[in-house]
Structure 1
Amino acid sequence: MSAAISDPWPAPRVKEPLDAVVRLPGSKSLTNRALVLAAIAEGPSVVRRALRSRDSLLMARALTALGSTVDTSGDDWTVTPGEFVRDAEIDCGLAGTVMRFVPPLAALSAGTVSFDGDPHMRNRPVGPVLSALGDLGVPVTGTALPFSVVGTGQVRGGTVVLDASGSSQFVSALLLAGARYERGIEIRHNGPSVPSLPHIDMTVSILREHGVEVEAPEPGAPATRWRVVPGPIAAVDHTIEPDLSNAAPFLALAALSGGSVTVPGWPQHTDQPGDRLRDLLTEMGCTVQLHHDGLTLTGPTPGTLRGLDADLHDVGELTPAVAALCALASTPSRLTGVGHIRAHETDRLSALAAELGGLGADVTEHPDGLELRPASLHGGLFHTYADHRMAHAGVIVGAAVDGVEVENVATTSKTFPDFAPFWADLTRTA
């Protein structure tokens, strides 16, 4: 029976090596991309092992509001495309994918589609997507939430120039809808380097699985131009991979306790940024084995976890969990390249500096990252800022430090329903 979840929540302390098998929910990023393409495909399709979380349910409701039908009653979700001919109101909640991926679809509607979300979402950038739609002739009212897209039933498409240095989702949003535009779409990035490129690779891969012709930069080439050719989007059933970024706190348990955690279903090949955890945790002193039925990570002797010097530009969503581990490491760490995560669910760099520092960590905040040095941490309240990744950082520290309480741990439902009781059950015997 799971422990009751209070707020603030006393993070369970792990004092013995943990040996566990952790089956992760499906990837939010893959689930929402699969849902978007299914909603504008040539026929019905099924998204198997879809992540049932607030973000993915918001996406399902948004696509249903536009005119498609998403049946979320079972583990496998059936999506039936429909005509986008009516006015609609879209609740984005705290889901960046809904706020950014749905407007280019709403442009195909013959109605007015209004968008709003949780108060904090009004601070998250979406302007480059809306400006691009305006350049394509789509009437848009507003530059941030709340805003409206006035569709005419078609979009001429063509070339747009934007600055995607704030989020890779700006590019993915337009790519996902581009095949339905009359002239397709060509996206030219003009600005500092685009973060989280694996997420764009994920978008390109899933488009190609649907038979869409996509031109993308070759590996190692400057990521400045993408093109989607107009044409049909085939109906394709998808089985969603486990969410590898959600593996971070569980692998951290093994890393800190000197134990072992196995994640079944870890793919041999994937575009998910979370796959980078294998390299990062190996550098910190862990042993990682990728085998035919999953991944097993074994931590070093407790107290010997090494610090890390890493550019996390392409995997910024891993920063909170990695920073928490670095705060507990035996040698200094430097995390760079993640200035863009200041515009995620919260300003994650300032939040991490404040919350880890509040528990005694020796941390310095820089414009694009953090420096952390070995220090003795103590208990206290760890604020999450309604950010699921911040909650992951809090429970990681709590596993190694007595007396840590995590405020609003329920925010983890964004990508992992019932995370707190699952974590409590997992750590109870360790």
Structure 2
Amino acid sequence: MQVFTYSSPRFTPYDDERAGVSESLGGGGPWRAPRATGPLVARLTLPGSKSLTNRELVLSALADGPSLLRRPLHSRDSALMIEALRSLGVSIEEVEGDGDYGPDLRVTPPAELEGSTSIDCGLAGTVMRFLPPVAALALGPVAFDGDEAARRRPMRTTIDSLRALGVDVNDDGRGALPFSLWGTGAVRGGEVAIDASASSQFVSGLLLAAPRFTEGLTLRHTGERLPSMPHIEMTIATLAERGVEVLSPDEGVWVVAPGPIRGREVVIEPDLSNAAPFLIAAVVAGGTVAIDGWPAETTQVGADLIEILPRFGASVRREGGALVVDGGEGLLGGRRMPGLELDLSRGGELAPALVALAALAESPSRITGIEHLRGHETDRLAALADDLTRAGLTATELPDGLALEPAPLHAADWGAFDDHRMAHAGAIIGLAVDGIDIDDIAATSKTLPEFPELWARLVASTIAEA
């Protein structure tokens, strides 16, 4: 079995040149997704969860004492969060950690958050939606902006909720980036009603800062649906671990009393959503892929893969601290995989990878419950339909998802659309189809900068077994 990690790859019994790593990374042009040539036998360790890392960074910045984050994610999204918090006066220091995971982070909150700064959100939803309530607690103006694509992401709910809390926000009526707010050093809090149908991050962003509001917060969701509930459950769990109780007296209602947020030492779980393409690779190519450090209990939506992947014909088991997916002979070995209907309203971030897998089925599939993905890094429904259609599939947008009609797939240019999960989807298709050229594999730096190398090594493990 090939064993490697995301930061300090341990890879035997052949070197990088045999693995095809240098060739697959290319020199800045399109990235040719490597084609699998046989069953996989691999085990890997992935970096910390982006969702958990950025939540813990925010809570550490608002805490009543220092915190130590062990095994945090080091990626563009986490770097943007770190720099944003530093600009508000938070001390974040890299300290020696586990060599396979990179440095740990020691976070020391300031006596008072500082305004008179600007925050680059990049394309990170956690930065653009978690930090405005934090910045409102600072003293002075704070300006928010980000990548061009970030200006298309919905932000009106955050902006309107801050105004309802008494914060002065100027967005020139856009309801989107760029905007600025004027922090007074305190936020009144109280009762606020929002429609968070477009993103659970609107709820999480307010809950994370709520203990620091003078009157706490009673938050009510008014929309018909609320996507990605596990992410809200994650937020509530991280608050609970720091001594903050979030009550939910009714569905879509959360109550947080004012009070301290405890500093703590925390070990960040591996990112289970980033595990999705690697585990799906076993379903496509066959063989086994194991992810070390899989938590026994978690609020991460990636844990849903344990129930979802058997519906695609894989077997899933735990071995010690690892999760192992066995794809048998795999689709490339001749195993037949019928299409299916799948509701991903709980975990839309898994959708691009699972849509790519469903695109390889022998009968139609419908993936639903993911209307909110239109407001992610890109309109993921339109982007998936565009890329899959270009590769030969009939992919039709539905009001809340995609319908896939099977067809022979062929070589095609695959657009990443500045979206890490779109790049992952293209890599999955490339396992089974020659000539899938992803235009911007660097988009994966958002949550896993080492993805191209890890993926090439994973696929190359079939060469070692040949």
| 2:62 aligned residue | 40
Q: Alignment partner of 2:387: what SS?
A: helix
CA distance, structure 2, for counterparts of residue 265 and residue 427 of structure 1: 21
**Residue correspondence of structure 1 range 42-61 to structure 2 within 5 A:** 42-61=64-83
- How far residue 3 of structure 1 moved from its aligned partner, in angstroms, is 1.6
CA distance, structure 2, for counterparts of residue 53 and residue 358 of structure 1: 30
| 1:299 aligned residue | 327
Of stretches 391-400 and 283-292 in structure 1, the one that deviates more from structure 2 is 283-292
Q: Which of the numbers 231, 243, 247 marks the counterpart of 1:211?
A: 243
TM-score by length of 1: 0.97
| 1:310 aligned residue | 342
Q: Alignment partner of 1:296: what SS?
A: strand
Q: Alignment partner of 2:346: what SS?
A: helix
Q: Alignment partner of 2:46: what SS?
A: coil
Q: Deviations over 1:109-148 (max 9, x none)?
A: 1110111100110010111111111111110111311111
- How far residue 213 of structure 1 moved from its aligned partner, in angstroms, is 1.7
User: Do residues 253 (structure 1) and 285 (structure 2) align?
Assistant: no
**Residue correspondence of structure 1 range 278-357 to structure 2 within 5 A:** 278-303=306-331, 304-357=336-389
Q: Deviations over 1:221-252 (max 9, x none)?
A: 73x10111110001111100010000111011
CA distance, structure 1, for counterparts of residue 72 and residue 308 of structure 2: 27
| 1:98 aligned residue | 127
* Alpha-carbon spacing, 1:247–1:376, altered in 2? closer, same or farther (3 Å): same
| 1:89 aligned residue | 118
CA contact (8 A) 1:256 1:305 kept: no
Q: How many residues align?
A: 426
| 2:166 aligned residue | 137
Residue type of the partner of 2:286? G
CA distance, structure 2, for counterparts of residue 254 and residue 150 of structure 1: 51
CA distance, structure 2, for counterparts of residue 369 and residue 157 of structure 1: 36
Q: Deviations over 1:375-421 (max 9, x none)?
A: 21111110110100000000000011111111100110100012112
CA contact (8 A) 1:3 1:425 kept: no
CA contact (8 A) 1:274 1:318 kept: yes
CA contact (8 A) 1:179 1:228 kept: yes
| Unpaired stretches in structure 2, ≥5 consecutive residues | 1-15, 97-102
**Residue correspondence of structure 1 range 5-404 to structure 2 within 5 A:** 5-6=25-26, 7-72=29-94, 74=96, 75-82=103-110, 83-142=112-171, 143-216=175-248, 222=251, 224-303=252-331, 304-404=336-436
Residue type of the partner of 1:173? G
CA contact (8 A) 2:41 2:461 kept: no
CA RMSD for the aligned pairs? 1.2
Residue type of the partner of 1:45? S
Q: Percent identity?
A: 52
- How far residue 329 of structure 1 moved from its aligned partner, in angstroms, is 1.3
CA distance, structure 2, for counterparts of residue 67 and residue 30 of structure 1: 22
| Unpaired stretches in structure 1, ≥5 consecutive residues | none
| 1:3 aligned residue | 22
CA distance, structure 1, for counterparts of residue 357 and residue 304 of structure 2: 15
